[in-house]
Structure 1
Amino acid sequence: MEKHMVAITYRTIGGQIEVFFFPGPTPEEVVKQYQQLIGTPILPPYWALGFQLCRYGYRNVSEIRDVVERMKSAGIPQDVQFSDIDYLNQYEDFSYNNDSFADLPQFAKDLHNNYSMHLTLIFDPAIEVDYAPMNRAINADAKFIQWPRADLVPTDTQNRYPLIKNTSIMLGKVWPVRNVAFPDFLDTEPKTNNWWINEFMLFHNQVEFDGAWIDMNEPSNFGTKFRNSTTSTEKDDNAPDLECPKVGNDSKWDLPPYETQASFFYGNDGHLEGKTLCMIGKWGRNKYYLYDSKSLYGWAESFATHKAIRNATGKRGISISRSTFPSSGKYAGHWLGDNTARWEDLRSSVIGAQEFNIFGIPYVGSDICGFGQNTTEELCLRWQQMGAFHSFSRNHNDKNMAPQDPTRWTTVAAAARKANLFRYRHLPYLYSLHFKASLFGGTVVRPLFFEFPADDFVHQISYQFLWGSSMLIIPVLESNKTTVDGYLPSTATWYSLYDAGYGQKAPNGNSTFSAPWDSLIPVFLRAGSILPRQTPAQTTVLARKNRFEIVIGLLNDVGNGHSIANGELYWDDGDSIPPADLSTHNFHSFIFSFDATSQNATFIITKTKTATNLPLPALENIEIFGYQWTPDFSTATLNGNSTDITTLSTYNSTSQILNITASGLINLNNGGSTWTFVLANNLPIQTTTHTNGGGSAEKTFTILLGFFILFFVI
């Protein structure tokens, strides 16, 4: 066996290094072991798995209403509408513009009551130092990042603001007209976080928002420079630049003995304080230098905002953070930052989502269609198709660019509608993946090598990914393409879940798959899997009322002529705040198993946990791929009692797709813990070889007997 040596070299100027070894042996188990250390990820509310829309540059509420109406008229499922900093009064947190956004409180109510939708608003950490929230902060003894000594305070700037005139608060410059301060979210006392929570509650009393988008929290600052510098980025005299010590002992924090890679990136004039605060700044009630702890700022704000959004709304809510750190996933999701409308950014977002799942932040996605630069019709279409398979699925762009909501192009609207309807139909499966990750750890979107580590070829694949272990997605990531090359691991059997050859076995190995603009991108179901799904609707609130469905991909000829599949479902109210121990939360969980032979098929549902006062829709549709026998619908029984499925159920002997449909087929609220559905078969039919994309379908399944892989994270 070939051995590979790995060497890592660290060059440090202080501190200590702690190394943790996670033995696996599988990659997925490595992530779970890592999350035993940092904590399992947050369970998002169900609505947060719906499609979301935003742009920087909405001029007023009327403009936002118009786009919501256009989306609805186009039949494109949407659950969340965002507003960027446009809604703020002079860009000040916990405010809204009483002119152009005067209707924001009513709009929030209308989203809830008339559209069954939700509202997420942006909140920056930079607090303007001359208005009511700062006054309440001072009165509450909340703390902010500060200078370590009074002699370092630039009193000429500080004296402009009566509220903080005699403090050591470090003043920066961000979006507000006047200077800003940065809350001390590492406050060793609860006062700062309690003030932050209270501000959220006060503002929610004005505008009933549901989610928080926390941006600029590296922390980001405009115009930072060294003292005595001859250059300035000041726009006006209302907010002087922050200046950091350049000479003497105090300069060592921003001018360490060795420059960092980030400093090199910005050239000879790049230093640690660039675009942020002075590294000499202190927080944690004057306990920590930013030099040692700056990377924790976004994490600390996520921790505080997680509590704030739940206290303000009384519901689960969600926070999306730009800056993250190990264990941020316990408190917030993440978007991949301000990208650009380029094909390479579309490709990198596929990788980014997989990486952040490995980092323990599975609720992640990119700015669909690109944030900067004007997107194109084709790029936006392909990004909408791919982005429908990221947990956080949001279209967002810059105000200086043309609007890019899906309704701008007829083709993009059609592609977004198709992709979102597929997503919404399979949300019970996606939600179950998130539920399991929150309960036990692990990933939601994962690389192929997580499931097939013994397949050397998948280690070369970056641009395909999986939902859990059972759904494989191959996005189109290049221009002028109506096909896409993809790889289906040979140690599994795959069924098409998209337009081309729906329900048919797909060829293993490398293939070229059809992917025209008006089709779903190639999506495949792994044989042996049962996925819960639900009839889709315009929003998740409406979809959750629809019937449950099941799709089964049979793993055929597994010993003694059996064909089998297994799956599971986790289901709660989707919105209530779960306890710290999620296992004690009020939720249903089910295990599905299917076993068929030439004589009969048996589908068993076992309830492993029962929620109280949480009724479930009936399971009314079971779709089965790879069914090799002709069923006798008249023989169907449920728990030993005859059940009529003859009216709507169908079987196609050519496609080998069995569709069992009946109103109220399985009532999951009947108080039982096991449902056994049995259907007899007639004589076996002659099977044929089907083709898809030019290759013949496999009729055999190779069982991977075992593997051992050493995979570690440092």
Structure 2
Amino acid sequence: MFGKMKNFKVDKNIIKIKYEKLETKITIINSSTVNFFVPNFRKNQKSNAIENLIVEPCNIDVLKQDSYIEITTDNLVIKIYDEFKVDIYNKKGKIICEDYRGNRDPFIKNCAGRLDIAAQEGHKPTEHMDYKVFIPKKLENNTYFYGFGEKTGHLNKNGCHYINWNTDDPSPHGETYEKLYKSIPFFISMKDEEAFGIFFDNTFETHFDLGKENSKYYYFASVDGNIDYYFIYGPGITEVVKGYTNLTGTTPLPQLWTLGYQQCRWAYCPESNVIDIAKKFREKDIPCDTIYLDIEYMDDFRVFTWDNKKFPNPKKMIKKLKDEGFKLVTIIDPGVKVDKGYKIYDEGLKNGYFATDKNSIVYTNWVWPGNSVFPDFMNSDVRRWWANNQRIMLDYGVSGIWNDMNEPASFNGPLPDDIKFNEDGNIVEHKEIHNVYGHMMDKATYEGIKESINKRPFVVTRAAYSGTQKYSTVWTGDNQSTWEHLRLSIPMLMNLGLSGFSFCGTDVGGFGYDCTPELLSRWVQVGAFTPLFRNHTTIYSRDQEPWAFDKLTEDINRKYIKLRYKLIPYLYDIFYKGERDGLPVIRPLVLHYQQDDKTYEINDQFLFGESIMVAPVLEQGKKARMIYLPKGDNWIDYWTKESFEGGQYIIKEAPLEICPMYIKEGSIIPNFPELSYIGEKDIKTLILDVHTVKEGKFEYHHYQDDGESFEYKDGKYNLYSIKVNNSHKLNITIDLIKNGYNKIYDEVQINLNGTNKLVRKFENDKVVVNIDKN
């Protein structure tokens, strides 16, 4: 494909290598991140995921050796050969990523039977596929793969094959599903405690084979497009995630209320039903901040409209909800009903804002409204128009927008590959932009909300691409009320986090099918630690609200929803730090315990931040479970306060009302007092759960701002340093080290090791506590 190297040119961080048939470009982004680009489809390099690429000045040496070009940075040695073969070494000379030189050789499948008969029952062979872009890498034993967003299956993806093609499939998802709603062409590879990431920034249908085809190699490939991928060196997984989110963006700090409990179903209507749901939450003393309206609130499914029979006065209803502490979030789909006289359709048609077929005729397909057209979100004028339309809902008092069906989904077959989109003068086809259609819709929605209310936008999306985390929270789509889907959700959420999507969640209780009391009880125990904590179910299922079953189920829901509200300041701190370092809320144990090989494939435990480990029960009827405590730290049972040394397996009794939780020794967990909703009362006491170590020091930073505006970006926030020194005496010092927000705490309450409660007033922005250990 490339031929032999002819010559090369160096211009600061860019090395261009001319081959017999193609020219390649290598850009050193920084000493640990390198971009490899070949314009085999389009000359210009463009990205929908990376918007503000910063190429850092760094030490680079480029030498011509006998058979290769050697590029050296402070952390890497890259050797480039004929045919654009690439091998990457660490500074010690150990090869960490090697191109595969052998022939493509799929495993032999002995198919001696009647394939025609098998096909009649639906059994189909896996088809071998040739790709226009194909990058094979050598696969070593003991290699682990993580990432890829919301793909089903286990945490470690070794041996799997995945396809990135955003797909609306309402059937129950299992481990064998290769594609779902999101396309995140990023993965992390780890071997011998050394990790790197690869981000394949190609929006066509991409394929990733992690040794399924042949255990000698893994590959990433595409049906079309350019070779355009980033190598991101660790060696720690934390450094890889930071490097990847440095490229594609970190999850921004959300509004505080969005971290509360959220209730949804298809569909709460009419208005009296919505008011009744809200009333029950308050009567039953179950905290809740948000209620959603699904598609039934619209006038015949026309987006940006209301059904005036079901909702005669939306503004009045929303104000009534707000007076009780509830925010309302409404669904918006991209499909615009074909209907003369309907403002959105008329405007879009007049201005040429809809995608067209190959004959330049506006393309239509069937979605919820019936015959529908699709906004061309690749066009900046269309995005501005869509952004301005958000004001229609916001002026009613709506607090957030839920983007659904934006793969885009369609009922009369998928959109053809050759549907045309106008990317600001550059005509592109659907096969190229399908995977970023939802991403661009989310960007328009985010920008519209931000401009309208000047608060941090709350956008929820089903479809996404790398970088969508800058604009929207995500959920894992139409799951089912089954134990299998509860189990699958844990590695899905962990891998979403590793893929940059910190603000993520599932439909708690399951969307399709009927939930059971036990399943909802166990699922809400997971949901309490999920960044997006939303119970959602379908129109045909039985009721799934916390009180819909029996008293025990209601009590368990109340217990864990209240626990969630107690932990919100800790969660908010994680988001504050995550906007800066890219690390997610939900984390696999391997992220912080890479030196402990027992953590590499744990699918049913996760870290909530760095200090809390959750080990939920995920099987029907189970009342105890085995838990692994990572090596290097001691762990405290949240419920019993018993301490355990790390590096061992333990058995934990877990009756239905108990979700096993462990606090890392040497942790500080800020708490809220009991609340029915965020903003119910001014919080003037900083409550801290302090879990000391036997000997030593540790520190924590707690963040405080107004919980909604962008003023924190201008320095209007408070930062408290909490230092603990446990030596001859136990010394705890709380300092207000950044005073930029006008509401500071009056006092601090220290809950020491779950027993002693100490209350002290702030004096000169400082609290010092000394305790004699005797």
TM-score scaled by length of structure 2: 0.69
Q: Displacement of 1:507 after TM fit?
A: 5.1
Q: What residue ranges of structure 2 are gaps of 5+ in the alignment? A: 1-93, 97-139, 144-216
Could you tell me which residue of structure 2 aligns to residue 16 of structure 1? 226
Structure 2 residue 679 is matched with structure 1 residue 679:
no
Aligned residue among 616, 621, 627 for 2:744: 616
Aligned residue among 501, 517, 524 for 2:656: 517
- The one-letter code sitting in structure 2 at the alignment partner of 1:51 is Y
Q: What residue ranges of structure 1 are gaps of 5+ in the alignment? A: 151-167, 225-273, 559-563, 626-656, 685-714
Deviations 1:623-648 (A, max 9, x none): 122xxxxxxxxxxxxxxxxxxxxxxx
Distance 1:12 1:39 in 2: 24
Deviations 1:652-684 (A, max 9, x none): xxxxx552333xx233xx6x45x24132416x3
SS at structure 1 position matched to 2:723: strand
Could you tell me which residue of structure 1 aligns to residue 672 of structure 2? 534
Distance 1:439 1:601 in 2: 31
SS at structure 2 position matched to 1:378: helix
Is contact 2:718-2:744 (8 Å) kept?
no
Q: Displacement of 1:356 after TM fit?
A: 1.0
Is contact 1:534-1:543 (8 Å) kept?
no
Structure 2 residue 402 is matched with structure 1 residue 213:
yes
Taking the TM superposition and a 5 Å limit, the aligned residue runs for 1:326-365 are: 326-365=466-505
Taking the TM superposition and a 5 Å limit, the aligned residue runs for 1:634-653 are: none
SS at structure 1 position matched to 2:406: coil
Is contact 2:348-2:354 (8 Å) kept?
no
Is contact 1:439-1:583 (8 Å) kept?
no
Structure 2 residue 361 is matched with structure 1 residue 171:
no
Could you tell me which residue of structure 1 aligns to residue 344 of structure 2? 133
Aligned residue among 605, 612, 617 for 1:471: 612
Is contact 2:417-2:429 (8 Å) kept?
no
Distance 1:443 1:512 in 2: 28
Q: Displacement of 1:128 after TM fit?
A: 1.5
SS at structure 2 position matched to 1:300: helix
Q: Displacement of 1:544 after TM fit?
A: 5.4
Deviations 1:381-404 (A, max 9, x none): 110111111000000000011111
Aligned residue among 670, 688, 705 for 1:572: 705
- Describe the shift of the 1:14–1:197 C-alpha distance in structure 2 as closer, same or farther (beyond 3 A): closer
Distance 1:473 1:13 in 2: 40
Aligned residue among 409, 412, 430 for 1:223: 412
Number of residue pairs aligned between Structure 1 and Structure 2 = 559
Q: Displacement of 1:548 after TM fit?
A: 2.0
Aligned residue among 584, 589, 597 for 2:727: 597
Taking the TM superposition and a 5 Å limit, the aligned residue runs for 1:82-97 are: 82-97=292-307
SS at structure 2 position matched to 1:172: strand
Could you tell me which residue of structure 2 aligns to residue 634 of structure 1? none
Q: Displacement of 1:585 after TM fit?
A: 4.2
- The one-letter code sitting in structure 1 at the alignment partner of 2:710 is I
SS at structure 1 position matched to 2:384: helix
SS at structure 1 position matched to 2:460: strand
Distance 1:424 1:546 in 2: 16
SS at structure 2 position matched to 1:565: strand
Is contact 1:593-1:605 (8 Å) kept?
yes
- Describe the shift of the 1:17–1:411 C-alpha distance in structure 2 as closer, same or farther (beyond 3 A): farther
Q: Displacement of 1:12 after TM fit?
A: 4.3
Aligned residue among 434, 440, 451 for 1:300: 440
- The one-letter code sitting in structure 2 at the alignment partner of 1:340 is Q
Q: Which has the higher contact order (CA 8 A, sep 6+)?
A: 1
- The one-letter code sitting in structure 2 at the alignment partner of 1:555 is V
Distance 2:352 2:555 in 1: 50
Could you tell me which residue of structure 1 aligns to residue 40 of structure 2? none
Q: Displacement of 1:537 after TM fit?
A: 0.6
Distance 2:592 2:747 in 1: 29
Could you tell me which residue of structure 2 aligns to residue 587 of structure 1? 717
Aligned residue among 446, 450, 459 for 2:591: 450
Could you tell me which residue of structure 2 aligns to residue 201 of structure 1? 391
RMSD: 2.1
Q: Greater CA deviation, 15-24 or 49-58?
A: 15-24
SS at structure 2 position matched to 1:20: strand
Aligned residue among 736, 740, 761 for 1:666: 761
Distance 2:248 2:692 in 1: 37
Distance 1:80 1:357 in 2: 23
- The one-letter code sitting in structure 1 at the alignment partner of 2:358 is P
Q: Displacement of 1:597 after TM fit?
A: 2.9
- Describe the shift of the 1:65–1:361 C-alpha distance in structure 2 as closer, same or farther (beyond 3 A): same
- Describe the shift of the 1:353–1:585 C-alpha distance in structure 2 as closer, same or farther (beyond 3 A): farther
Could you tell me which residue of structure 2 aligns to residue 648 of structure 1? none
SS at structure 2 position matched to 1:592: strand
Could you tell me which residue of structure 2 aligns to residue 430 of structure 1? 571
Is contact 1:57-1:400 (8 Å) kept?
no
Aligned residue among 545, 551, 554 for 2:683: 545
Q: Displacement of 1:104 after TM fit?
A: 2.8
- The one-letter code sitting in structure 2 at the alignment partner of 1:170 is Y
Taking the TM superposition and a 5 Å limit, the aligned residue runs for 1:496-511 are: 496-498=637-639, 501=640, 503-506=641-644, 508=646, 509-511=648-650
Taking the TM superposition and a 5 Å limit, the aligned residue runs for 1:549-560 are: 549-558=687-696
Taking the TM superposition and a 5 Å limit, the aligned residue runs for 1:360-379 are: 360-379=500-519
Is contact 2:668-2:688 (8 Å) kept?
yes
- Describe the shift of the 1:543–1:395 C-alpha distance in structure 2 as closer, same or farther (beyond 3 A): farther
TM-score scaled by length of structure 1: 0.75
Deviations 1:595-617 (A, max 9, x none): 1234x3221123332224x3133
- Describe the shift of the 1:137–1:484 C-alpha distance in structure 2 as closer, same or farther (beyond 3 A): same
Is contact 1:565-1:594 (8 Å) kept?
yes
Deviations 1:117-160 (A, max 9, x none): 21111000111132111223345x3622112324xxxxxxxxxx
SS at structure 2 position matched to 1:460: coil
Structure 2 residue 374 is matched with structure 1 residue 182:
yes
Distance 2:587 2:560 in 1: 20
From the two aligned structures, give the one with the greater strand fraction: 2
Q: Displacement of 1:9 after TM fit?
A: 2.9
Distance 2:482 2:543 in 1: 16
Q: Displacement of 1:8 after TM fit?
A: 2.3
Is contact 1:527-1:565 (8 Å) kept?
no
- Describe the shift of the 1:24–1:543 C-alpha distance in structure 2 as closer, same or farther (beyond 3 A): farther
- The one-letter code sitting in structure 1 at the alignment partner of 2:390 is F
- Describe the shift of the 1:504–1:193 C-alpha distance in structure 2 as closer, same or farther (beyond 3 A): same
Distance 2:221 2:449 in 1: 40
- Describe the shift of the 1:192–1:346 C-alpha distance in structure 2 as closer, same or farther (beyond 3 A): same
- Describe the shift of the 1:223–1:544 C-alpha distance in structure 2 as closer, same or farther (beyond 3 A): farther
From the two aligned structures, give the one with the greater helix fraction: 1
Structure 2 residue 606 is matched with structure 1 residue 606:
no
Taking the TM superposition and a 5 Å limit, the aligned residue runs for 1:16-415 are: 16-113=226-323, 115-130=324-339, 131-138=342-349, 141=351, 143-150=353-360, 168-177=361-370, 179-187=371-379, 190-205=380-395, 207-224=396-413, 274=414, 276-285=415-424, 287-409=427-549, 410-415=551-556
Taking the TM superposition and a 5 Å limit, the aligned residue runs for 1:699-714 are: none
- The one-letter code sitting in structure 2 at the alignment partner of 1:399 is I
Q: Displacement of 1:505 after TM fit?
A: 0.9
Runs of 4+ in structure 1 displaced over 6 angstroms? none
Distance 2:228 2:684 in 1: 50
Deviations 1:532-559 (A, max 9, x none): 222121111126536320011112134x
Is contact 1:60-1:101 (8 Å) kept?
yes
- Describe the shift of the 1:364–1:681 C-alpha distance in structure 2 as closer, same or farther (beyond 3 A): same
- Describe the shift of the 1:293–1:419 C-alpha distance in structure 2 as closer, same or farther (beyond 3 A): same
Is contact 1:448-1:465 (8 Å) kept?
yes
